[in-house]
Structure 1
Amino acid sequence: MTPLVISWVGALIGLLLAILLILFKLAPTYSLILGAIVGAFIGGADFAQAVSIVISGTQSVMGTVVRIIAAGVFAGVMMESGAAEAIAKTIVDKLGGTKAMLSLALATMIITAVGVFIPVAVLIVAPIALSVGNKMGYSKVALLVALSGGGKAGNIISPNPNTIAAAGGYKLDVNQVMLGGLIPAICGVIVAVIIASMIKYKGTKVTDEEAAELEKVSTTNLPSLAKSLVTPAIAIVLLMISPVGSMLGLDALAKLKIDSLYILPFAGIVGSLALGKRKKILEYCSSGLNRMTPTILIIIGAGAIGGLITASSLPSQVVSLVEASGLSGTFLAPIAGILMAAATASTSTGVILATGSFSNAILNTGVAPLSAAVMTHAGATVIDHLPHGTYFHVTRNAMGMSMKDRMKVVMYESMVGLTMTIVAVILYGFIL
């Protein structure tokens, strides 16, 4: 029996409907599933076939879902124990005020890179940034450029849900995608520091009243740096064993295929013991799972819309369009990441939609899986910070900014994301 091929028109309408519903604030999971069902009907499916498309699509993302659930243990430990805040505070203190923008960008980059969500990373470092800004006379716009730019750089080399989704979408290990994003991330944080330094005196300053409020918040109960580094160090070292083995030609290490599914929970549990928080392990696990739940639900919805597109002729139409335009198929990966993240104002959701909907089309252009994953991932950082998403408002509130000042930051954030995307395309699209 010939499998049903959904019309590309139905798939496109379903995708656009899902994005439109997200913009109108319907829960992303419902938006994506509803878009998949409507698109299937418009594309020629009957009731049974529409259900089959949605079920097969959601089943395809279960591997990613399980890994993200496992990552919740790691995230819970880093966020709830104070380890992430301790790392950030140490970095800023050691580099000092004269290198403030570099220290703030690095602090946010590093704690995002070790598995803290980027909005949470900004929330953690924001009080430190405001205190430094008050002492040095720096503007809030410049401070947030440093924080957000550093966070974006760390986000493409972290074991966060977006990286796990990018890896899962192209059948890769998460450590491969993390390592692949390293050079673009370094370039991104450099650009963030340069931009922030150029505009550090332009815009609204941190008031003495705001600084006084920050001094009321105690940080005396933070763990030591050595204890705080145990969790991320274990995770990074173990996740890098297979990639390093491949690079050095050590087959025994390369064949281990160590997976984030068990490494991240293991690192979280050992880190809890090192922090002296044995009795709080269950609490950290629950907190981490709660933080991961919204992303898990979005992935399930994205799997549904991905199932629709996979069952349709849209991927082949996209490839034909790219070939007809004379544009290299290499650009399809970053464009997909840019557009999906812009539509949803979310890095994670953008990556999930881009990989779930267009991974096969991208690979059909001849792009290698790792190259596609890194370019899609980097592309999702270009305009994922628009006002219809939560990141825009979380960061605005964290810095106590006006809407006008927060909008000024958007352009600079896009410059950082675009830098990482250009570097990723040059490196993985044309050199490697």
Structure 2
Amino acid sequence: MSVIHWSGAIVGLILAIVLIFRKVNPVYALFGGAIVGGLIGGASLAETTQIVIDGTNSVMGAVVRVLAAGVLAGILIESGAAEKIAETIVEKLGEQKALLAIALASMVITAVGVFIAVSVIIVAPIALSVARKAGLTRSSILLAMIGGGKAGNIISPNPNTIAVAKGFNLDLADVMINGFIPAVVGLVVTYFVATWLNKKGEAIKETGISEAATTTSKEKPSFGRAMVAPIVAIVLLSISPIGNILNVNFLAAIKIDSMIILPVAGIIGLIAMGKFNKVIPYTTSGLNRMTGTAILLIGAGAIAGIISKSNLSEVVVYCIKTTGVSGVFLAPISGILMAAATASTSTGSIVAAGSFGDAILSMGVSPLNAAIMVHTGAVVIDHLPHGNFFHATADSVKMKINERMKLIPYESIVGGSMAIVATIIYGFLR
């Protein structure tokens, strides 16, 4: 099979972006772009079809793990555990540190395995209530939730982390643990940016959400019981990495995949909350929440297959070497561009890892370091208007689209801070 010309890969990617902007279902947009890109790049229809199939096959491991993660996510959300964790954090830190509390709550909820958009929706009623009492602006609390969510997203067992770990053949826990320092930096930057934003605009007088909406009818567990599932997941995921760090062979040899750990942690948490009789509806809800992302990853695999079979990465590497720019920058830049193109952290991560992974590694970057830089790059501008995240977060605080647009640069400051720190640590210091 001949190599696809880089121009075909570029045209296919641009077509996919245009179709997404035109409100075509992202999965079909990615498939359409992949097919057109293959044909323009010089492959026959039969060859293009096979490349697309091979590309989708390459992401099946990530898809299976994402669907398995739905067990934990569904249990945390439907049981009220995620909401209880958020409420407790905000209550403990109080109104004086309201913005930090809101950001931290969003970070923790996302970090324990809840989608970032869902985390914002969960925290939003609590944040709006606190904002009204503390005199905070709508922009400041939304930025706090989004920034905290982005920080939590790079240390979570969420689809994006699963995708980038699989893309570089790494353990999920290694990617989560090594994203911790950039995540903390992101949280700190979020707090300062949100505080600055609070000086602009009017304070919230009416939340736009009825008081009834701020409390759900579900009976929420205690904070201790709500934390059981996340703690079990973190402990089990950390066994092997801790063994490697401490040179304890028997711990390092315990290799349990996230496909097993996340559902088991969720079930244990459900038992601890005394709601095992709800296992079927809660896990079904989790599966439904993950299905869209899993299918989107298949579409990402299709376009990644076309790009990986082209000579685009060779052209990019040649340009980098010609300009004298460090090859290290290819990792975060690929994550930034692919996530921006698809307006999705998960899709951007899998396309960047699948399409530019070999090129990044050929620059002498280790798989783990490459994964962290790609991953943090993927949260820099993944919040553009052609993605669902943009609109879901705006609706969560009843913000108008023109006001929501003004937050984009500030979100990028938060994501950019994490990408810069990750590039310094994993690109130049290691």
Please state which band the TM-score falls in when normalised by the shorter chain: over 0.9
Paired with 1:40 and 1:210, the residues of 2 have a C-alpha distance of 49
Query: 1:214 is matched with which residue: 184, 194, 211?
Result: 211
Paired with 2:287 and 2:180, the residues of 1 have a C-alpha distance of 27
Q: Label 1:225 to 1:204 Cα distance change in 2 as closer, same or farther (>3 A).
A: same
Paired with 1:218 and 1:422, the residues of 2 have a C-alpha distance of 39
Give the gaps of 5 or more residues in structure 1: none
Aligned to 1:371: 369
Query: 1:189 is matched with which residue: 177, 187, 197?
Result: 187
Query: 1:159 is matched with which residue: 149, 157, 160?
Result: 157
C-alpha deviations, 1:245-283, integer Å up to 9, x for none?
111111211122221010001011111111111111111
8 Å CA contact 1:23, 1:344 repeated in 2: no
Aligned to 1:410: 408
| SS of structure 2 residue aligned to 1:116 | coil
Aligned to 1:25: 23
Higher mean Cα deviation, 343-352 or 135-144? Answer: 343-352
Q: Label 1:34 to 1:208 Cα distance change in 2 as closer, same or farther (>3 A).
A: closer
C-alpha deviations, 1:335-389, integer Å up to 9, x for none?
1111111122221121122112211221122211111111111111111112221
Query: 1:170 is matched with which residue: 132, 155, 168?
Result: 168
1:66 matches 2:64: yes
Q: Which amino acid aligns with 2:300?
A: A
Q: CA deviation at 1:215?
A: 5.2
Question: What is the 5 A alignment of 1:192-341?
Answer: 192-208=190-206, 210=208, 213-214=210-211, 217-219=214-216, 221-341=219-339
Paired with 1:47 and 1:366, the residues of 2 have a C-alpha distance of 36
Q: CA deviation at 1:219?
A: 4.6
8 Å CA contact 2:129, 2:207 repeated in 1: no
| SS of structure 2 residue aligned to 1:159 | coil
Query: 1:119 is matched with which residue: 114, 117, 120?
Result: 117
Aligned to 1:35: 33
8 Å CA contact 2:125, 2:213 repeated in 1: no
Paired with 1:307 and 1:219, the residues of 2 have a C-alpha distance of 44
Aligned to 2:100: 102
C-alpha deviations, 1:98-151, integer Å up to 9, x for none?
111111111000010000101111111111111111111111111111111100
Higher mean Cα deviation, 155-164 or 393-402? Answer: 393-402
CA RMSD of the aligned region, Å?
1.4
Higher mean Cα deviation, 408-417 or 145-154? Answer: 408-417
Which of structure 1's runs of 4+ aligned residues deviate more than 4 A?
none
Q: Label 1:287 to 1:219 Cα distance change in 2 as closer, same or farther (>3 A).
A: closer
Q: Which amino acid aligns with 1:380?
A: A
Higher mean Cα deviation, 340-349 or 164-173? Answer: 340-349
Give the percent of matched residue pairs that are identical in Structure 1 and Structure 2: 56
Paired with 2:212 and 2:20, the residues of 1 have a C-alpha distance of 39
Higher mean Cα deviation, 236-245 or 275-284? Answer: 275-284
Paired with 2:322 and 2:120, the residues of 1 have a C-alpha distance of 43
Question: What is the 5 A alignment of 1:123-162?
Answer: 123-162=121-160
Paired with 1:359 and 1:234, the residues of 2 have a C-alpha distance of 32
Q: Label 1:313 to 1:201 Cα distance change in 2 as closer, same or farther (>3 A).
A: closer
Structure-1-length-normalised TM-score:
0.96
